[in-house]
Structure 1
Amino acid sequence: MEITPQVRTLMRADCLLGEGVIWDPARAAIWFVDIKRHQLWNYDPETGGNLCVEAPGQIGWALPAEDGLLLCGLQDGLYTFDPGSRQFAKLADIPGEPAHNRLNDACTDPGGRVWFGSMDDDEKQASGRFYVFDRGEIRPAGPSGITITNGPAVSPQGDRIYFTDTGAQKIMVADLRAGIAGDARPFVNTGALFPDAYPDGPIVDEEDHLWTGLYLGGRVARFDPDGWLAGTWAMPARDITKMALGGRTMKTAYVTTATKNMAERDFADWPEAGSLLSFDAPVAGVAQAQVKLG
């Protein structure tokens, strides 16, 4: 079922690669990044105000953490960000990561662990893999040998985790217990449903349905817990990267978009490309737990 919602353009950020959108319940605000412009954005839905801070490198994500900080994934490792001083501080390298890789997407589980992935910055080599940051310890966790990783996304109960292999157009799922992910198994082959689009950042809502942006697809898609397509929502931008559910009722969808693969002629068909978008979702999301830093 294709739905054409009333989409609102919240901010024309002109993102090359907008990504990592997340609802911050403590601040009642949105964080997202523009990876290629090295930008960390904050957006206040109540006032419409926004703030942009330059990161010290390509920044894939920023997650609310304890002590009022954010934990951020940059090309060369993990950093903390202090919104008060607007300063980044290097926290950790990622052991074994090649120099041509960067960090791309992440989430927290109910225990405050961070699950994240790496990828080849040129999107050619299958050098990406997934990790977990568990109170200061970083260890490999989940599939490896992936060109473009996205997600992970964790179920509200913390018993399942989803891994996206964007280039292969597939999403995998694994059982999750006490911070340990089991073997990943197929969840959905999005290429069979959307041959010309690629699954990007996923999230899970309160009904255990998975949402994913569709890069080159002009929509977001929602799948039930068994991997069946429950619906799609059309967007006025072609390259949809990630969605978050937040707001007072947790039913406002916030969507990041990209322009880095668009030609000049494409902008006439996709006028909101590069913007932060929003629409009213039929179901509520689940606020992610704060990152436990140590």
Structure 2
Amino acid sequence: MTVDCVWSLGATLGEGPLWVPDDAALWFVDIKQHHIHRFDPASGSRGRWQAPDQVGWVQPTADGRWLAGLKSGLHWFDPAASTFTPWLDPEPDKPDNRLNDSVVDPQGRLWFGTMDDHEEAPSGRVYSLADGPHAVPTDSTCRITNGPAVSPDGRFLYPVDTLDRKIWRHEIGADGALARGELLIEIEDGAGHPDGATCDSAGNIWIGLFGGWGARCYAPDGTLLHHIDFPVSNVTKIALGGPDLKTAYATTAAKGLSEDELARQPLAGGLFAFTVEIPGVPANPVRIGI
């Protein structure tokens, strides 16, 4: 698989890539620069919005709006007006935490994680947006939450514990409750840290490797299927998009690299793309809890 840089934007912490079929474009963020980006591969057009704070993700809703996960909580994001309206802070008692990554399951339920912005305290949790404007946390905590990914049938949730290099599997009940998790994948020492996760239409799990110079694809049972080498060290997350959902887009980060490392990685923080054999799953809009 040949990896190409399609946008050398030098993101400090590129994250949250999401292919939006109705828009035929990839949306993603640069958390540390407070930017939301839009990339249209057909026309080559590129858009950027300035968020009022660190922004971890954006998600479309079933009623045509957008939600954005900022350090201060969930905001309504209006791309046309470039405005952000605060709506819900899931952790008003944790001012050092920020929202980090998200996914929407087939039922339209939003799952998102929080983490200590200093990457030290085990204060991160995974939340689901339940019926009504309140967030319901799961039981797990860690220093950096990532993903979660959700299986295409909506049966399993895969939260990522980045610093402990572990990917967990929880069964999702009909009411949205999570069963006790089991360890599915543990990244070996020296291979980097698992970052954002996403699932393809066969249920395989794609993981970006921060500090690992690549991305991996694992089968639903945790068997390693593919390792894709990158010309940059910090690969943060994969999104499967394009007209046939067979273009893998990857966000990357320049965060933490020294001047010498940046000189050796001139494309660090760029947006990359490569072609896969198994397509992704169309993104689900948020339906529950809004």
Q: 2:195 aligns with which of 197, 200, 208?
A: 200
Partner of 1:239: 234
Partner of 1:12: 8
Query: Which residues of 2 match residues 204-219 of structure 1 at below 5 A?
Result: 204-219=199-214
Distance 1:238 1:183, change over 3 A: same
Residue 224 (1) aligns with residue 219 (2): yes
* Distance in 1, Cα, partners of 2:12 & 2:213: 16
What amino acid sits opposite 2:283 in the alignment?
Answer: Q
Helix, strand or coil for the counterpart of 1:68?
coil
**1:244-267 CA-partner distances (Å, limit 9, x unpaired):** 001100000110000111011112
Helix, strand or coil for the counterpart of 2:281?
coil
* Distance in 2, Cα, partners of 1:27 & 1:117: 25
* Contact 2:191–2:209 (CA under 8 A) maintained in structure 1: no
* Distance in 1, Cα, partners of 2:245 & 2:112: 23
**1:74-97 CA-partner distances (Å, limit 9, x unpaired):** 001101111222211111111454
Partner of 2:135: 139
* Distance in 2, Cα, partners of 1:66 & 1:84: 17
Per-residue deviation, 1:16: 0.4
* Contact 1:158–1:177 (CA under 8 A) maintained in structure 2: no
Residue 161 (1) aligns with residue 157 (2): yes
When structure 1 is superposed on structure 2, of 117-126 and 85-94 the one drifting more is 85-94
Partner of 2:57: 61
Per-residue deviation, 1:13: 1.5
Helix, strand or coil for the counterpart of 2:63?
helix
* Contact 1:213–1:240 (CA under 8 A) maintained in structure 2: yes
Partner of 1:29: 25
* Distance in 1, Cα, partners of 2:81 & 2:3: 34
Partner of 1:93: 89
Partner of 1:123: 119
**1:72-126 CA-partner distances (Å, limit 9, x unpaired):** 1100110111122221111111145400000000000001111001000000111
Residue 290 (1) aligns with residue 268 (2): no
Runs of 4+, deviation exceeding 6 Å: none
Partner of 1:109: 105
What amino acid sits opposite 1:185 in the alignment?
Answer: E
Residue 188 (1) aligns with residue 179 (2): no
Say how many residue pairs are matched. 288
Q: What TM-score, normalized to structure 1?
A: 0.94
* Distance in 2, Cα, partners of 1:134 & 1:65: 14
When structure 1 is superposed on structure 2, of 66-75 and 10-19 the one drifting more is 66-75
* Contact 1:142–1:184 (CA under 8 A) maintained in structure 2: no
* Contact 1:206–1:284 (CA under 8 A) maintained in structure 2: yes
Partner of 1:75: 71
Per-residue deviation, 1:12: 1.5
Q: 2:45 aligns with which of 44, 49, 64?
A: 49
* Contact 1:120–1:127 (CA under 8 A) maintained in structure 2: yes
Helix, strand or coil for the counterpart of 1:6?
coil
Identical-residue share of aligned pairs (%): 39
* Contact 1:57–1:74 (CA under 8 A) maintained in structure 2: yes
Per-residue deviation, 1:139: 3.2
Per-residue deviation, 1:143: 4.1
